Chain A
């Protein structure tokens, strides 16, 4: 098997595992078919999601990017750019036995080296002890924030992308390790406790790296009907080499509390995050988004803010110090497909700014940016 236990509680997943799982699933003898049939009866299911999006930035003195892993975006390089939001993901699930299942997800999106090479987002084995208790081993999604576990899946989000103020405090989109989830009822409410441990390695533009070690966390989600509350706490150490910065094994912890309410006709959610960090100093961020639904349209309004409370031992200023007002509308214009139009107005407050890169001499670190996004999200 391609999973090697390298340390207690930590596993290293080779890309080979995903390829093996994918190959096994598309084997001609396997009963692979699209998910909308009677999936409950078949061993394998194949599904996917994607976004076709274009972004325009009002500022030609820097490139707007939607993740710190992208090396160019909209603004300086091109006035309009498809690279920030366009992506495609495929997922294969296999029910191996009644209790053991495997999942592999490949996502193709614009990366640090300027291409859309697919990367293995998840590849894990899940053992279901009871319908309410499971353990997963391999590359797994970690539910750091309410919106972050589906950050690649535009169709599952009310907006075009998760607020960048939140993304800036997301240590990893996935983790190589283990997690466990236990769900129980408290009266009519449902409480889910989720604990995870693992690591995350990634590459940044210009030969930068971001490695997260000793990631450990616990997340509690309480749901009652349309209401839910999400609380998380995690600790980690990270190495960061990026634009002259070299940080080794810096301890960080992240605390978050969020709530959401979605009775159907309207929805509202918000989250508050505190991230103490020895090297870069403690950051605070929050967002709030709300909207309502009229037939197939769902207009929304969001606010987000991220800032550094005080510098850490490196003495560096904030990686991100900005506030954004987001106005947009989602239109579910056909089955399994939506179209979103979104305008973000971001006020910069002098941070280094990992989401406005390739900064030119005319870039104003205290300026106001206007970002227009049009995206079509789909699932299959």
Chain B
């Protein structure tokens, strides 16, 4: 038990060094496929992509955000850390966008396995996972200002 925790902590530490971001154990981190060119985004740029306000990464490559399902604690953690919005606040935001006919929320992955699969299938995709689920096929995106 203790060894396992130590291992996770070490893994998180390695990931933090590799990604250049501070990650705590179990925290949500933004990820893309390792084949993606994207390495760094500002907090505002990242938020705009997930709120449907920006459809491209800075530099012009198409960005396809992917959400975990509603109710996922990783999802709630990601949005709280990124923009201070709770699940209900995020729902209120999308309610406004949907019922003005101005957009649709990101596609949802039912779990982290599907999230990983969708990210690997499409190098334009960007999602988030618990830091300890990130492997070499994925890259943690550094969020500046977080």
Contact = CB atoms under 8 A, between A and B. Distances in A.
Interface of A: 35-36, 38-41, 45, 47, 49, 89, 91, 93, 103, 105, 122, 124, 126, 131-132, 136, 140-141, 143, 149-150, 152-153, 155-156, 181, 183, 185, 188, 190, 223-226, 263-265, 293, 296, 332, 335-336, 338, 379
Contact of B99 (A39, A49, A124, A188): A49
B72 to A, nearest CB: 13
A188 B44 contact: yes
A188 B42 contact: yes
Contact of A103 (B91, B92, B101): B101
A131 B44 contact: no
Interface stretch (B12-20, B24-32, B79-87, B133-141): B79-87
A40 B106 contact: yes
Nearest to B93: A156
Contacts of A49: 95, 99
A379 B87 CA distance: 14
Which 10 residue pairs across A and B have the least CB separation, nearest first?
Answer: A264-B84, A40-B107, A131-B55, A332-B88, A156-B96, A156-B95, A225-B44, A149-B100, A103-B101, A153-B99
A156 B91 CA distance: 8
A230 B43 CA distance: 22
Contact of A153 (B48, B71, B86, B95): B95
A9 B10 CA distance: 64
A231 to B, nearest CB: 18
Given A38-B108, A225-B47, A89 B99 contact: yes
Contacts of B55: 131-132
Looking at B47, B48, B105, B106, the one whose CB has the most chain A CB atoms below 10 A away is B48
Contacts of B89: 264, 293
Contacts of A264: 80, 83-86, 89
Contacts of A122: 101
A224 B44 contact: yes
A336 B85 contact: no
B124 to A, nearest CB: 12
A140 B92 contact: no
Contacts of A149: 96, 100
Given A153-B96, A188-B44, A225-B44, A36 B70 contact: yes
B95 A150 contact: yes
